[in-house]
């Protein structure tokens, strides 16, 4: 009988994309996706440790799986991703029913390790580093009109709060032609929107030796691929955002008018302690340049509240920069110490929970105010919308995204992957409401992209 698999992903887009690769690998080995995840023969947990309470979530899920496995001894459990990279042996110690533990650098080995575990019992394999770029692995994508494309893995920065460099390793750029070729083959399969992924996309190419292309060049080439209608990227680091990138965005009609531009803090003192490499003023100066260069630019951000040593005055500076930046939306995070990072050791400077909550709520007010204003300003406009499918809350409605990456809900049914003109009729802080004007393009995709090694 054909074995089935289920993958549970925690964390960011990079992890979701790694999960697509895991699915592709398992399918290449003959497994099929389980319709009921609880009945899967192979369960893979792809973990994250950036800021969530990942340990609790993981061990909670593993506890649940333990009883399933007791009832079905043939079942296999694999744990991969950032937390596995970091905690390695601890996972096997705390959860001996786990068959395979693999790290962020050996996603490609997951299938082989599962086979080995079936014969030999539990295995753990964590590579410190790998030169094999994971994008060369097969991929099974759930969505066939939009795709993530990894252009870089790892990170060479050392932000004091961040565990990524420790678990994802040094920065490696994927060869230029390989990226463009992947986008071309995705487009040939019907994908019309790609999102270029990297921890710090603006330093793309810095480590390439044969030729050192800039990110701007990559953006132009990817944007010119036949069949591609939208290109997005995430995330640029403010210290490395170059005028060339802005010029390339403006000159590339397929490049969407959206910049995810992580602030983290508006206080120069805190930014220095974080090793971010910019000040609040410099951040805003570059932002003004981006807005001047790219018309109708939507700007989103990441902000951390309660970094060790953050005072009320520091936080006020964050509020000021956030207000001046007039964000379309912001991911706001409560600082969470990650063992092994520099700031985690500054226990004497941890901010009391009450202060953090109060600041967090204030920041939310400031961000939602500008988000709502930005959204209200769009009422009355006709937007180009890429249809994502029936609305999750009300299936009689359709949901999609504008070029500015705003979620829009409108009445009626339009096929997933189509493009439609939608008149914006209402605004809320996190979405827009609209009315369908007309469908401008049907979905180009086939119903499902076959598993391929590109
Ligand atoms: N605590 C809180 N937020 C964090 N982030 C990264 N590390 C931490 C941490 N230790 C946030 C940053 C980053 C986003 C991906 O996650 O804002 O931009
Ligand atoms: Fe983490 Fe900073 Fe690298 Fe982003 S740039 S992944 S926050 S170390």
Model confidence band, residue 255 (pLDDT cutoffs 50, 70, 90): very high
Q: Which ligand is nearest to the CA of 307?
A: 1
Model confidence band, residue 447 (pLDDT cutoffs 50, 70, 90): very low
User: What is d(CA 78, CA 123) in angstroms, rounded to the nearest whole number?
Assistant: 10
Instruction: Show the ligand 2 pocket: residues with CB < 6 angstroms.
Output: 155, 157, 159, 162, 164-165, 199-200, 237
User: What is d(CA 429, CA 288) in angstroms, rounded to the nearest whole number?
Assistant: 23
Between 112 and 306, whose confidence is greater? 306
Quick one: 64 exposed, middle or buried, by C-beta within 10 A (0-12, 13-18, 19+)? Answer: exposed
The predicted-structure confidence for 393-429, as pLDDT tens digits, reads as follows 898 999 999 999 999 999 999 999 999 999 999 999 9
Calculate how far, in angstroms, residue 346's C-alpha sits from the geometric centre of ligand 2.
19
Q: Which ligand is nearest to the CA of 167?
A: 2
User: What is d(CA 259, CA 205) in angstroms, rounded to the nearest whole number?
Assistant: 20
Q: Which are the contacts of 212, defined by CB distance < 8 A and separation ≥ 6?
A: 205, 206
Protein residue with its CA nearest to atom 14 in ligand 1: 302
Q: Is the CB of 302 under 6 A from ligand 1?
A: yes
The predicted-structure confidence for 343-354, as pLDDT tens digits, reads as follows 999 999 999 999
Residues paired with 398 in a beta bridge: 390, 410
Model confidence band, residue 124 (pLDDT cutoffs 50, 70, 90): confident
Protein residue with its CA nearest to atom 17 in ligand 1: 302
Sign of CA pseudo-dihedral 72, 76, 81, 85:
positive
Q: What is the mean pLDDT of the chain?
A: 91
Calculate how far, in angstroms, residue 300's C-alpha sits from the geometric centre of ligand 2.
17
Calculate how far, in angstroms, residue 413's C-alpha sits from the geometric centre of ligand 2.
40
In the predicted structure, residue 82 carries a pLDDT above the cut 90: no
CA-only gyration radius of the chain, Å: 22
Q: Is the CB of 336 under 6 A from ligand 1?
A: yes
Lowest mean pLDDT among 228-232, 345-349, 389-393: 389-393
Q: 241: closest CA among 203, 212, 273?
A: 203
Protein residue with its CA nearest to atom 7 in ligand 1: 162
CB 419 within 8 A of CB 400: no
Protein residue with its CA nearest to atom 5 in ligand 2: 157
Calculate how far, in angstroms, residue 178's C-alpha sits from the geometric centre of ligand 1.
30
Q: Is the CB of 264 under 6 A from ligand 1?
A: yes
Calculate how far, in angstroms, residue 364's C-alpha sits from the geometric centre of ligand 1.
16
Q: Which ligand is nearest to the CA of 339?
A: 1
Calculate how far, in angstroms, residue 96's C-alpha sits from the geometric centre of ligand 1.
30
The two tokens of residue 226 are 């036949």
In the predicted structure, residue 449 carries a pLDDT above the cut 50: no
In the predicted structure, residue 7 carries a pLDDT above the cut 90: yes
Q: Which ligand is nearest to the CA of 276?
A: 2
Calculate how far, in angstroms, residue 275's C-alpha sits from the geometric centre of ligand 2.
10
Model pLDDT, residue 137? 67
Model pLDDT, residue 136? 62
For helices 243-251 and 280-293, give the axis angle rounded to 10 degrees.
20
Q: 139: closest CA among 44, 6, 11, 16?
A: 16
Nearest atom in ligand 1 to the alpha carbon of residue 334 is: 2
How many Cα atoms within 13 Å fall on the side-chain side of residue 271?
Answer: 22
Between 84 and 385, whose confidence is greater? 385
Q: What is the mean pLDDT of residues 279-295?
A: 98
Protein residue with its CA nearest to atom 5 in ligand 1: 51
Calculate how far, in angstroms, residue 392's C-alpha sits from the geometric centre of ligand 2.
32
For helices 312-325 and 353-376, give the axis angle rounded to 10 degrees.
10
Q: Is the CB of 44 under 6 A from ligand 1?
A: no
The two tokens of residue 145 are 């009109």
């Amino acid at each position: 009988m054909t074995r089935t698999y289920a993958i549970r992903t925690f964390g960011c887009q990079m992890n979701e994309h790694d999960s697509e690769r895991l699915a592709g690998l398992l399918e290449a080995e003959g497994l099929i996706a389980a319709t009921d995840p609880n009945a899967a023969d192979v369960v893979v947990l792809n973990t994250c440790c950036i800021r969530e309470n990942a340990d609790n979530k993981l061990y909670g899920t593993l506890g649940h799986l333990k009883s399933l496995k007791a009832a079905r001894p043939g079942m296999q459990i694999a744990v991969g991703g950032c937390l596995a990279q970091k905690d390695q042996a601890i996972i096997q110690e705390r959860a001996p029913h786990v068959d395979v533990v693999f790290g962020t650098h050996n996603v490609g080995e997951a299938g082989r390790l599962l086979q080995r575990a079936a014969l030999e019992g539990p295995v753990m394999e964590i590579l410190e580093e790998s030169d094999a770029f994971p994008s060369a692995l097969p991929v099974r994508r759930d969505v066939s009109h939009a795709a993530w494309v990894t252009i870089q893995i790892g990170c060479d920065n050392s932000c004091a709060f961040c565990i990524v460099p420790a678990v994802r390793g040094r920065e490696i750029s994927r060869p230029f032609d390989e990226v463009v070729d992947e986008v071309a083959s995705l487009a040939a399969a019907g994908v019309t929107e790609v999102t270029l992924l990297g921890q710090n996309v603006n330093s793309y190419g810095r480590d390439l030796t044969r030729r050192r292309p800039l990110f701007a060049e990559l953006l132009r080439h990817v944007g010119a691929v036949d069949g591609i209608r939208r290109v997005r990227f995430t995330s640029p680091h403010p210290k490395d955002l170059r005028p060339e990138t802005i010029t390339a965005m403006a000159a590339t009609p397929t490049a969407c008018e959206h910049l995810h531009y992580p602030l983290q803090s508006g206080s120069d003192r805190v930014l220095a302690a974080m090793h971010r490499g910019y000040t609040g003023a410099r951040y805003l100066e570059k932002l003004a340049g981006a807005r001047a260069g790219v018309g109708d630019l939507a700007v989103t951000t990441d902000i951390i509240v309660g970094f060790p040593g953050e005072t009320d005055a520091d936080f006020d500076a964050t509020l000021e920069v956030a207000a001046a930046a007039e964000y379309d939306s912001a991911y706001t995070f409560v600082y969470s110490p990650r063992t092994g990072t520099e700031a985690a050791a500054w226990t004497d400077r941890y901010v009391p929970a009450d202060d953090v909550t109060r600041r967090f709520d204030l920041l939310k007010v400031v961000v939602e105010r500008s988000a709502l204003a930005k959204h209200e300003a769009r009422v009355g406009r006709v937007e180009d919308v890429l249809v994502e499918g029936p609305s999750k809350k009300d299936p009689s409605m359709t949901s999609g995204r504008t070029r500015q990456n705003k979620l829009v809900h409108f009445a009626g049914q339009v096929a997933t992957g189509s493009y439609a003109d939608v008149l914006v009729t209402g605004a809320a802080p996190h979405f827009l409401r609209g009315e369908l004007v007309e469908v401008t393009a049907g979905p180009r995709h086939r119903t499902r992209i076959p598993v391929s090694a590109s």
